[in-house]
Structure 1
Amino acid sequence: MQKIPHFIFATAAFWLITISCSSSKTNSSINNGLKEAYHSDFLIGAALNTGQIEERNAQSNALILSQFNAVTPENCMKAEHIHPAWDRYDFTIPDKLVAYSQKNKLKLNGHTLIWHSQLPAFARRIQRVDSFKTFFENHINTVASRYSGKIFSWDVVNEALNEDGTLRNSIFLQKLGPDYITEAFRLAEKASPNTELYYNDYNNEQPKKRAGCIELVKKVQAAGVRIDGVGIQGHWHLGKVPFKEIEESILAYHELGLKVMITELDIEVLPRNFQGADVAQRMASDPSLNPYAQGIPDSILQQQATDYENLFKLFLKHKDKITRVTFWGVDDGQSWLNGWPVPGRTNYPLLFDRQLQPKPAYHKLMGLKK
């Protein structure tokens, strides 16, 4: 047998030591992400899709576990997915999400029990009021009770208000009347008594919608029904983040004895001709609306970083009132804003890019805690 020179053993040992040190550094970096930086301030969350819940991508899973200590399902707990037929529920992916959150010690926010959008087709076909009421009650009781003790919080009612603060003319209002919101919280409290119960909406930092949200909350409270907090979704736009209105809203909701969550945070960089997050709104496709299909200028990323930094300075100022900040997705490639309100665009609203690498905004947020 040929004798192996000593220098080969030495070289191999050198590389083994180098790899070990590199791995140690990587693990150290992974273990000191956003969730650790803000651990004494508020929870840091992300919305997860089915692939992430099922851990299909190891790199993505490592990123999630290094950065976040709270999760929200992007879609799998919405009624059209979890309750596809009158007498049938599909708990396959929600159960996996519960197991994933328990295994990794993540706070799980259920999203959402009552929402006018993404309803199963059968529910929209119900004509009789008593039958629709039965669907409403059975849905809340079945879903909320199944996950009682396993879910930290529920978005009980989602997006029930118009921009002027009046109640949206949804199928729930049409069939059940204006008290359906109070009844939803009553049923959720009974089915899942140890779960925090929230009302969630977009643009509810704007004065008129905020006033409607306050009125909604006061009505639930006056009925003696528990409501623990309000979620401000936080779908904001580059250079147009309404800092003044956000702060006023945090203070106003806190005055009602409520916890405040930022529940679906992203900062969009692409143009559109309206504000808000109404999934029913659309814009016609046009190349001018997709200016960064081949890549985004660093100047835009730097502006986004400044917006995120100023937002988190505000959140830290009111950390005694804010309990959670959740991003609506993990990376840019996952974001719903690639397909709404214009399909097929290339958007860049989150802290991590399509290669799962941190963007300037991430470094700004970490820098705030150094």
Structure 2
Amino acid sequence: MKIIKNSLLLATALAIGIGCKSSNNKASEELTLKDAYKNRFYIGTAMSRPQIENLKSEETSLIAKEFNSITAENIMKSMFLHPEEDVFSFETSDKYVDFGVKNNMFIHGHTLIWHSQLAPWFRAKKDSLEMSVAMENHIKTIVEHYDGKIDSWDVVNEALNEDGTLRKSVFLNTIGEDYLPMAFKWASETDPNVDLYYNDYNLTDTEKRKGAIRLIKQIQDKGVKIDGVGMQGHWHLNRPSLEVIEQSILDYAALGIKVAVTELDISVLPDPWGLQGAEISQRFENNDKMNPYPKALPDSIQTKLANRYKDIFKLFLKHQDKISRVTFWGISDKQTWLNDFPIKGRTNYPLLFDRELKPKKAFHTLVELTKEN
């Protein structure tokens, strides 16, 4: 009886061992996003202040697990980083950079010069000299503080109108169009090794694309360093077309610069008439038609979202030699800015993780795609 009992124990132990081995093999097959796209381009996300402060530890852990590139969502904009002319506030942005260094990530700085979320003291500058001095000090102080730690910067953000002309910002009004090459010059003088980007939305639209190309060429013609363009991907289930996205990648790459797809999210909701891109000042009234999925996303739309992401990423993989990174604008559907833009209180579903931080069908589709390509 004793021999039989020991034999049974041995058989049970072997069975458990085999089961554990199978489970481990299954776990090893579950790729993260960053592993799936390793050696292709960086896969990034935007980090919010609570995530940086580790106040939402589950989200912070997910970022470390799935992504190898990060962008500061808000905390590096001038109203937070340089709130008063003689005051720089680096505490939170230092934590952001430390998180990236600790997790061996590509760290992107967003943004040095932007007309929105602008520190109020900037607006008090009334002439070219005052503004030039203020801009130079702002750029050089920040870039120097992170010299050798930040890998790339959005030097100027959203300087174009939809027709490709320059936006009438406080910078344009005081200095003129030279403020753009000046900003890139000051950044490159301070850290010659960091990559410098121009970042904007709707850069796939024909007229705005022409304006961006013109802007980049003007900077290049002055002998000033510009390394890339950030094409914001605030896109939709059916637009822009794949053909337009591809042509945009080709057009920007032809300038000899890198193409980053930034702020990527795909809205599944209808847009109100008159919406102009991702201009954050826009607001419209909510109604049932504008908020068709208040409780959950139907399976049919979930599939459409997954297929849209798949088609777009097939294109990115096709042109991976031109693309430096792809950055999602947030982690989950719960935190996306699109729940409140351009209509407050809507329920949108634009990202790869749901409101419980579970991977959606779109996530699994993108991971599987790399096994085919």
Contact 2:127 2:175 in 1 (8 A): no
Distance 1:50 1:111, change over 3 A: same
CA distance in 2, matches of 1:241, 1:350: 17
SS in 2 for 1:72: strand
- Aligned counterpart, 2:352: 351
- Aligned counterpart, 2:87: 88
- Aligned counterpart, 2:231: 232
Contact 2:227 2:258 in 1 (8 A): yes
Contact 1:152 1:196 in 2 (8 A): yes
Range 301-310 or range 276-285, more displaced = 276-285
Measured after TM superposition, the shift of residue 124 of structure 1 is: 1.8
Equivalent residues in 2 for 1:1-370, closer than 5 Å: 28=28, 32-273=31-272, 274-370=275-371
Distance 1:28 1:50, change over 3 A: farther
Range 292-301 or range 311-320, more displaced = 292-301
CA distance in 1, matches of 2:29, 2:63: 13
CA distance in 2, matches of 1:335, 1:148: 31
Counterpart residue type for residue 70 of structure 2: V
Counterpart residue type for residue 360 of structure 1: K
Measured after TM superposition, the shift of residue 245 of structure 1 is: 1.3
Counterpart residue type for residue 201 of structure 1: D
CA distance in 2, matches of 1:200, 1:52: 23
SS in 2 for 1:246: helix
Measured after TM superposition, the shift of residue 25 of structure 1 is: 6.9
Cα RMSD over matched residues? 2.4
CA distance in 2, matches of 1:90, 1:24: 46
Measured after TM superposition, the shift of residue 19 of structure 1 is: 11
Name the count of aligned residue pairs: 361
Measured after TM superposition, the shift of residue 126 of structure 1 is: 3.0
Distance 1:156 1:329, change over 3 A: same
Contact 1:148 1:193 in 2 (8 A): no
CA distance in 1, matches of 2:296, 2:128: 51
Query: Over residues 223-264 of structure 1, what are the superposed CA-to-partner deviations in whole Å (9 max), with x where a residue is unaligned?
Result: 110000111011001222321111111111111101100011
SS in 2 for 1:248: helix
CA distance in 1, matches of 2:96, 2:143: 15
Identity fraction in percent? 50
Measured after TM superposition, the shift of residue 59 of structure 1 is: 2.6
CA distance in 2, matches of 1:22, 1:81: 50
Counterpart residue type for residue 297 of structure 1: P
CA distance in 2, matches of 1:232, 1:22: 43
SS in 2 for 1:205: coil
CA distance in 1, matches of 2:58, 2:109: 25
Counterpart residue type for residue 313 of structure 1: K
Counterpart residue type for residue 319 of structure 1: Q
Counterpart residue type for residue 131 of structure 1: E
CA distance in 2, matches of 1:58, 1:39: 25
Counterpart residue type for residue 146 of structure 2: Y
> TM-score scaled to structure 1, two decimals?
0.92
CA distance in 2, matches of 1:22, 1:336: 41
SS in 1 for 2:220: helix
SS in 1 for 2:149: coil
Structure 2, unaligned runs of 5 or more: 1-8
Range 48-57 or range 102-111, more displaced = 48-57
Distance 1:299 1:132, change over 3 A: same
CA distance in 2, matches of 1:27, 1:306: 25
Measured after TM superposition, the shift of residue 128 of structure 1 is: 4.1
Distance 1:52 1:17, change over 3 A: farther
Distance 1:275 1:18, change over 3 A: farther
Measured after TM superposition, the shift of residue 131 of structure 1 is: 2.4
Measured after TM superposition, the shift of residue 288 of structure 1 is: 2.6
Distance 1:226 1:294, change over 3 A: same
Contact 2:80 2:119 in 1 (8 A): yes
Distance 1:55 1:19, change over 3 A: farther
Counterpart residue type for residue 211 of structure 2: G
Query: Over residues 285-317 of structure 1, what are the superposed CA-to-partner deviations in whole Å (9 max), with x where a residue is unaligned?
Result: 323322211111111111111110000011011
Structure 1, unaligned runs of 5 or more: 1-8
Counterpart residue type for residue 35 of structure 2: E
